[in-house]
Structure 1
Amino acid sequence: MATRINEEDIALVRERARIDEIIGAYVQLRNAGGGSLKGLCPFHDEKTPSFQVTPSRGFYYCFGCGEGGDVITFLEKIDNLSFTEAVQTLADKTGVQLRISDDGRPAAQPGLRQRVLAANQAAAEFYQAQITTPEAVIFRQFVDGRGFDRQAAEHFGMGYAPKDGRALHHHLNRAGFSDEELVKAGLIRESGWDYFQGRVLWPIRDSAKSVLGFGARRVFDDDRMPAKYINTPETVCYKKSHVLYGLDLARQPIGKKSQAVVVEGYTDVMACHLSGIDTAVASCGTAFGADHARMLQRLMGNNDAFNGEIVFTFDGDAAGQAAALKVFNLDRAFVSQTYVAVEPNGLDPCDLRLQSGEPAVRELVGRRVPLYRFVMRNVVKQYDLDRVDGRVQAVRAAAPLVSSVRDASLVRGYLHDLSQLVGMDVEEVRRIVSQQSRRAMPTTQVPPMRTVRPSEDHDEGPTLDGLSLPWPDPFDRNIVVERDTLKLMLQHPVLFDTAWNGVSADDFTHPAYRAIFEVIAQTPYQPQGWAEQLQEATGDDVARQLEVALLVEGVHHDPDEAYASAYTAKLQLLSTMRRLTELKSRLQRINPVDNPSAHKQAFSELIVLETTRRTLEQISSGAD
């Protein structure tokens, strides 16, 4: 049966959940002035931050894709939660006890995500407690053999799954978790056996330190599972393409240093962190992909001139080269520069630390080379460069690498590097690359964004598919006063009288602005939850989205009642000027001889409007 959460509890969750802290766990936020924060949008790819958070009003909005809302909306979208699950998640974080009632309608099991997270946390504690048991001697041998001590193992939350295939199952049953919950958490199988048996484990946490799942390594020769490493199956919490091991420890350093080091295994992450490379992470049970790239890019944010760097560690063998080429194909997903760090002896960071010490790990990352150069060298060395045709073939094979470079200003340097690698004149290399690029030029179709797309003529700004109201251009000087007036009304409603200083819907020319004002005028102001009431009262999705944008946009001054009065006068002055223009046009068309009464009435209206204009001009001067 479906559940309904008490409205007062939902309001309390919104009040207690600090939107900057919640969003800050996913996005690197920086001060944008005026009490606002900015960062790279987590809902679409972008190079320049257009995602804005206004903690004082509890809203976020992206001026690039149009996504916006409050802290509950954000959690729904970013973690793919239902409204109820998002509220429950925030309630757990803020200590709010929810009152939930049955509304009599069927629905999915509520709170499953939180129960899975709770079961995972209990499992992590159980596994970690096993590392001192007699059976876990093989765990201790494994840890010691990799150069780690007990303190390191505990710091990274390592654990051991007993060979008794039902130990975790029984432990969690006694802790109050049902079999159904444990199956859905990926902790036990349908048959009742523990998912992990006789293995060394690492908890995989998100940036907020919640345990999403586990990675497990085989340590017994008679292990019935053939794979060396296995991971938690896909659950409501664990999506292997959306998680990175070590992110709970590396999130803040990644944002602070604008650097991420991507390694290939759990012990490599441990070795890097213990060696001072605290930005190291690893993919879990799958190759590094586009979702991982976007996740790291959001955490690094954008530092204007310096967009950060992502360093990949690969083996020098064929598998490492193939992995490097795959990452290179993802290169357009990065704003940051991409590098490769390869140990000449083929050692991974864990073995390198064990053999040569922690300084060698730091040196490995310090010797990084641009990803394009690493890939280019591996492409070129496949050809016989002692032959003329071999050199030409090598340039042709490397041409797509040069053509795919994001920054056109770097192409010249890449051409120079390629010419040195093959031993040809740089102009000849340029000519071959240009010819090859024209022949192989792809025709890429980019699908439109689901929410907001820029209009081609830029006359109306973004529009939304399938919705009634057009999206106003925020830079349209003809309607900027309408926009700024609404911002004042939404953000500082107490500066206006109950009649909104005499403003009417006719003062707005853009239909979206008019729609928002009509909602404002019809919604009685209340000190608590007024913005939420406006959102609920707004029937059009465009207007609702626009409200959020106006709630987070900065205002030009520190407003007071006099400023608000002056600004509404400015809006009414523009409206009065339009009426004057229309009236003068009508007067010119009225013949005073043929229709003296109509002419007299129109002339009287003209006098009244001129008087109103002069008054409004005087009042509105305070808004400049």
Structure 2
Amino acid sequence: MAGLIKAEDVTLVKERSSLEDVVREHVTLKSAGPRSLKGLCPFHDEKTPSFTVSPDNGTYHCFGCDKGGDVISFMMEVEHLTFSETVERLAGRAGIELHYEDGARPREEGAGRRTRLVEAHRVASEFYAEALISAPDARTARDFLRERGFNRSVAEHFGLGFAPRGGEVLAQHLRDKGFRDDEVVLAGLVGRGRGLYDRFRGRLVWPIHDITGDPVGFGARRIFDDDRIEAKYLNTAETPIYKKTQVLYGLDLAKKAIARDRKAVIVEGYTDVMAAHLAGVEQAVATCGTAFGADHVRTLRRLLRDAPDQQPAKVIYTFDGDAAGQKAAMRAFELDGQWDARSFVAVAADGQDPCELRLSGGDGAVRALVDDATPMFEFAVRTTLRRFDLDSPEGRVLGARAIAPIIAAVRDQAMRAEYLRTAPGWVGLSEDHLRAEVTRAGSGAGRTGSPQDRRRTPDGDDAPHDDAPPADPSMPAPDDRDPIVRAESQLLECLLQFPASVPARELAAVRDTDFTAPAHRSLFAAVMAAGPPGERTPAAWLDDVRGNAPQVVHQLLFRYAVATLPTRLDPVTGAPQQRYARSLLVRVREVALQGDINTAMSELRRSDPASSREVAQRLTQLQKDLTLLRASLD
């Protein structure tokens, strides 16, 4: 662990930091007598000033809410920082070098280097913002914003910009401002090939700020059809100041509203954050090129101040209404136990995201979407039940078994009892039957591994040992004795180790539902969500895959990422032949198509004359698809 900041350095930081200057960044102060200043308290709503500052002794106190302290406690409270973060930030402002008890730094970057990297981003932000207005080729970016209801003042409020299409326009601008090549490359603003090149050239860019408001990265959207990088969005790669699993877009703007209302709204994209804020949902934030995860939870907990002894805070997720959105919601449900906040899911009836909803229904529609959110538990149960035919006795029994672990995982005994009274109606079984399934699920059935059998994963989370099956009853360990499941495993091994060996066009036809093993479905969905590796290193791409996968399959991912492929490999690259990967694709797709054909044939036998024609046409097309698929290997 990193050492504590030496006490004498903390004292020096307090001595050289002006409380008055720091407070004035947040509060309008007026003289209240000799050596005393007064203003409206930043920590609670008031009409008459009761927040008093004494510059001479460096203290403040609010007579309305009874909060007080020194410059460190003020910045901690108003900026929502930890003690160490606050001292480091103040030290950077005062030009003080900090020392630590064991000689280590709590962060890998020095204060001076961080300052330089942040300043490079600030210069880049200003450059991009000016280019959005004046660059000859920025009209497409402005049209993109205008079509989504964002005018110039909105772009300026959120700091949007445009990266000119020239190869190294920003790189040269940063050089002119005195930045070294190694600094701008380290910052992730510029890449290095035969020379330097701008990473986000020809794209609409959003500056990404940390919780304190410092610019630390960018998100960039493709707007030109001839952009050589096909990925719709590019995000800053990991840098000393940018950790994608920790930053949230819009948090610098939303933090006061989140802390004030003890409510956070998590949306899926940059334009959704903008639309939500403009509609009055000021608590909206979004992840930056990765799935919402445990580090994001920790970041928001500091703002929500959630604790078991008070009214729960609220976390509202908005997701698209498609299958991917439902999967994202279920991944969020897995994180629900990591905080005491009550979680909700908001999905528009027609599947529109907040940006689309604002265009079609106005600001009120966005606010209504958030206000009418469904409790996360109910959404998780209903989403799980969609997999079962509740019109049949077998489907109802299987559905009850599937949702039992969800109910058993609810920690609040009173809430669990309420869910046990409500959920039977959704399944169509008696409360006694469901209660028995919940009792069985909560007794340890299906759980694997004792504490001593568990180890730490690379990201520090407890996880089952590699040889243990996933600890989720709904996602058992894949049985590789089944030849179909084994083919799925080998395809995933190819995808995780050599993604370029799997033909992209054929891969696009594969669905996660084509996989028979639930854990394989989850892993494949994570691979597809991460997209092609592009400019990412293999390690960074695999990390993105892991970020999109639920914790329960992380060990399976690690195993497949290092497994030996049972085929002849290229002696130089170690990659398998493309025919091998294609044969696995065909095998997985073939089994799925055959299943669809069997279902269609069964449906045809049971259909009435009015609908049999449509079913017959679908069956004919499926049979053609299967024939073409098998012929593709010849």
* TM-score normalised to structure 1 length: 0.59
After TM superposition, give the deviation of residue 440 of structure 1 in Å. Answer: 2.5
Where do 4+ consecutive residues of structure 1 move more than 6 Å? Answer: 5-10, 18-22, 28-31, 105-110, 446-449
Counterparts of 1:159 and 1:121 in 2: how far apart (Å)? 12
Unaligned runs of 5+ in 2: 27-41, 46-50, 52-66, 457-634
After TM superposition, give the deviation of residue 97 of structure 1 in Å. Answer: 4.7
Partner residue in 1 for 2:190: 188
Partner residue in 1 for 2:131: 130
Q: What letter is aligned with 2:414?
A: S
Change (3 A) 1:239 1:57: closer
Aligned-partner SS, 1:193: strand
| Higher RCO by CA contacts (8 Å cutoff, separation 6 or greater) | 1
Q: Does residue 69 of structure 2 align to residue 55 of structure 1?
A: yes
Counterparts of 2:270 and 2:92 in 1: how far apart (Å)? 29
After TM superposition, give the deviation of residue 372 of structure 1 in Å. Answer: 1.1
Aligned-partner SS, 1:311: strand
Partner residue in 2 for 1:440: 446
Partner residue in 2 for 1:556: none
After TM superposition, give the deviation of residue 29 of structure 1 in Å. Answer: 8.3
Tell which structure's C-alpha radius of gyration is larger.
1
Q: What letter is aligned with 1:355?
A: S
138, 141, 147: which one aligns with 2:149: 147
Counterparts of 2:388 and 2:6 in 1: how far apart (Å)? 70
Partner residue in 1 for 2:173: 171
Change (3 A) 1:18 1:29: farther
After TM superposition, give the deviation of residue 346 of structure 1 in Å. Answer: 0.5
8 Å CA contact 2:18–2:71 kept in 1: the answer is no
Change (3 A) 1:198 1:276: same
Partner residue in 2 for 1:205: 209
After TM superposition, give the deviation of residue 282 of structure 1 in Å. Answer: 0.1
Aligned-partner SS, 1:312: strand
Partner residue in 2 for 1:324: 329
After TM superposition, give the deviation of residue 18 of structure 1 in Å. Answer: 7.7
8 Å CA contact 2:13–2:96 kept in 1: the answer is no
Change (3 A) 1:57 1:182: closer
Counterparts of 1:116 and 1:429 in 2: how far apart (Å)? 56
8 Å CA contact 2:19–2:70 kept in 1: the answer is no
Q: Does residue 265 of structure 2 align to residue 261 of structure 1?
A: yes
Counterparts of 2:286 and 2:298 in 1: how far apart (Å)? 14
After TM superposition, give the deviation of residue 432 of structure 1 in Å. Answer: 2.1
Change (3 A) 1:444 1:322: farther
8 Å CA contact 1:301–1:307 kept in 2: the answer is no
8 Å CA contact 1:341–1:365 kept in 2: the answer is yes
8 Å CA contact 1:29–1:301 kept in 2: the answer is no
After TM superposition, give the deviation of residue 437 of structure 1 in Å. Answer: 3.1
* TM-score normalised to structure 2 length: 0.58
Change (3 A) 1:419 1:7: closer
Equivalent pairs counted in the alignment come to: 400
379, 397, 400: which one aligns with 1:395: 400
Q: Does residue 118 of structure 2 align to residue 117 of structure 1?
A: yes
Counterparts of 2:345 and 2:121 in 1: how far apart (Å)? 34
Q: Does residue 363 of structure 2 align to residue 361 of structure 1?
A: no
Q: What letter is aligned with 1:173?
A: R
8 Å CA contact 2:206–2:270 kept in 1: the answer is yes
Q: What letter is aligned with 1:13?
A: V
Partner residue in 2 for 1:230: 234
1:214-247, Cα deviation, whole Å (9 max, x unpaired): 0000001111112100111111110000100000
Unaligned runs of 5+ in 1: 36-52, 61-67, 80-85, 450-624
Q: Does residue 114 of structure 2 align to residue 90 of structure 1?
A: no
CA RMSD after TM alignment: 3.8
Aligned-partner SS, 2:245: helix
Counterparts of 2:224 and 2:71 in 1: how far apart (Å)? 56
After TM superposition, give the deviation of residue 344 of structure 1 in Å. Answer: 1.0
Partner residue in 1 for 2:383: 378
Partner residue in 1 for 2:570: none
Aligned-partner SS, 1:244: coil
Q: Does residue 284 of structure 2 align to residue 270 of structure 1?
A: no
Change (3 A) 1:353 1:15: same
Counterparts of 1:99 and 1:387 in 2: how far apart (Å)? 70
8 Å CA contact 1:260–1:311 kept in 2: the answer is yes
After TM superposition, give the deviation of residue 305 of structure 1 in Å. Answer: 2.8
1:557-610, Cα deviation, whole Å (9 max, x unpaired): xxxxxxxxxxxxxxxxxxxxxxxxxxxxxxxxxxxxxxxxxxxxxxxxxxxxxx
8 Å CA contact 1:231–1:284 kept in 2: the answer is yes
Aligned-partner SS, 1:281: strand
Counterparts of 2:440 and 2:97 in 1: how far apart (Å)? 69
Counterparts of 2:116 and 2:286 in 1: how far apart (Å)? 26
Q: How does 1:491-506 map to 2 (within 5 A)?
A: none
Q: How does 1:298-337 map to 2 (within 5 A)?
A: 298-302=302-306, 304-337=309-342
1:413-451, Cα deviation, whole Å (9 max, x unpaired): 1112220101121122111221233322455639999xx
- Identical counterparts, % of pairs: 42
After TM superposition, give the deviation of residue 7 of structure 1 in Å. Answer: 11
After TM superposition, give the deviation of residue 9 of structure 1 in Å. Answer: 8.6
8 Å CA contact 2:161–2:205 kept in 1: the answer is yes
